[in-house]
């Protein structure tokens, strides 16, 4: 018997937002094995703003993608509201990603032929929901009510990332994952985007996990985890 996301959400309300246990991620390049995650375990509470920091190659992006259901670990488990992410059927995994998670990437990933408004609406349209009113409101909240009909090429980098933030919120996800969301922006624009993202997450009570190399931005969070050589530094 299938399980609807509505039922899933109601059953899992009292659990931690995210629990990861003994995560290992190994990449194989020819005959070589690269052990990127080495037994990482973390727990994230509902509404917590968590930053993942570390040097290049420490494993922070791989960890974020594994927590977000985008890269299956070779070993270990991820629980979303007490529900096993990788232990679920593929259909349920897809539902969890689309309806309970929002994603923001360094490179924006906006569809170039769609306007800002259409890009924000897209995830909800995939879920067969009418999202015009919600998308319009989200663009207003990120300060782009005057840019809704513009294509990505007509927007600055900071504006494109604000569109991406609005898009990540359109399905009212419980958890937002952001991978270096300010990486392509100058210092001023990056600070503005991060202030906006953290502010919206707190306002909406969202759990937020962010990868950044900038310790100054990470100070905005409730907690910072530092990764070194595939492990969380003690």
- Tell me how many degrees the CA angle 160-161-162 measures, rounded to the nearest 5: 90
Q: What are phi and psi of 168, to 5 degrees?
A: -65, -25
Average pLDDT over residues 118-128: 86
Q: CA of 121: how far to CAs of 12, 43, 98, 124, in Å?
A: 27, 31, 13, 6
Q: What is the CATH number of domain 44-72+87-232?
A: 3.40.50.300
Q: How far apart are CA 129 and CA 123, in angstroms?
A: 9
Q: pLDDT per residue over 62-80, tens digit each?
A: 999 999 999 999 999 999 9
The domains of the chain are located at 44-72+87-232
Structure tokens given for 140: 């207003």
- Report CA torsion sign: 10, 199, 194, 121: positive
Q: Which residues of 154-190 are buried (b: 16+ CB within 10 A; e: fewer)?
A: ebebbbbbbbbbbbbbbbebbbbbbbbbbebbeeebb
- For the ranges 10-14, 20-24, 31-35, 230-234, the maximum mean pLDDT occurs at 20-24
Q: What is the spatial distance between Cα 163 and Cα 101, in angstroms, rounded to a whole number?
A: 17
The Cα 78–Cα 73 span in angstroms is: 9
Whether the pLDDT of residue 190 is over 70: the answer is yes
Dihedral over alpha carbons 122, 207, 230, 55 (to 10 degrees): 80
Averaged pLDDT of the chain: 91
Mean pLDDT of all residues in 105-110: 95
Predicted TM-score (pTM) of the model is 0.90
Whether residue 182 contacts residue 194, with contact meaning beta carbons closer than 8 Å, is answered with yes
Please state, for a pLDDT cut of 70, what percent of the chain lies above it: 93
Average pLDDT over residues 95-110: 92
3 state SS of 24: strand
Per-residue pLDDT, averaged over 10-27, amounts to: 80
């Amino acid at each position: 018997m299938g399980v609807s996301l509505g039922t899933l959400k109601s059953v899992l309300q009292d659990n931690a937002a995210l629990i990861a246990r003994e995560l290992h991620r190994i990449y194989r390049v020819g005959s070589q094995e690269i052990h990127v995650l080495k037994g990482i375990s973390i727990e994230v509470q509902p509404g917590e703003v968590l930053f993942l920091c570390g040097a290049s190659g420490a494993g922070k992006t791989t960890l974020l993608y594994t927590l977000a259901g985008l890269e299956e670990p070779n070993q270990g488990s991820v629980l979303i509201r007490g529900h096993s992410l990788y232990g679920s059927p593929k259909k349920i995994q897809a539902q969890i990603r689309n309806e309970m998670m929002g994603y923001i990437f360094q490179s924006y990933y906006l569809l170039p032929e769609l306007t800002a408004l259409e890009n924000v609406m897209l995830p909800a349209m995939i879920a067969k929901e009418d999202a015009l009113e919600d998308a319009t409101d989200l663009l207003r909240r990120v300060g782009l009510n005057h840019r809704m009909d513009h294509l990505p090429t007509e927007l600055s980098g900071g504006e494109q990332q604000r569109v991406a933030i609005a898009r990540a919120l359109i399905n009212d996800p419980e958890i937002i994952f952001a991978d270096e969301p300010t990486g392509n922006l100058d210092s001023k624009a990056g600070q503005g985007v991060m202030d906006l993202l953290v502010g919206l997450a707190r306002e909406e009570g969202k759990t937020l996990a962010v990868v950044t190399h900038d310790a100054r931005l990470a100070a905005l969070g409730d907690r910072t985890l530092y990764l070194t050589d595939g492990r969380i530094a003690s």
